[in-house]
Amino acid sequence: MAPPYVLVGHSLAGLSVRAFVGRYPDEVAGVVLFDPTPVEYLRAHLSDFGGVGWDMSATVAQVDAVTRWPATPTTVLSSDPAVEIAAGSTPADEYEWQTDQRASPRLLVAPTG
């Protein structure tokens, strides 16, 4: 299938979407991120993600290389912290996750050029 693409990523896949958009901005028509893992959260908890099947340090480096987001329609949908806490997450982790997620859209709306 030829570009442009609409990319959708959930959780850790949100990082792959961010890296793809940073590398191929002209091939993306839109982005939807469902409760994406914030790179700041991943950086602080690298040891917790050791068994997921890929090199998280390399993923962090790829996402860190994205310094500008193109003028691409982007929607970020977050989970409800109360639901996550009821499912076993700690309030401290949810606070950190939500804070880091709110920081991510600042990159996503950065002007290009």
Domain boundaries, the chain: 5-108
DSSP 24-91: -GGGEEEEEEESPPPHHHHHHTGGGGTTSSS-HHHHHHHHHT-----S--EEEE---HHHHHHTT--H
pLDDT of residue 113: 43
pLDDT of residue 111: 44
pLDDT in tens, the chain (113 residues): 888 999 999 988 988 998 999 899 999 999 998 888 888 888 888 877 766 677 888 888 988 888 777 888 888 888 888 888 888 888 888 888 787 777 765 555 544 44
pLDDT of residue 104: 66
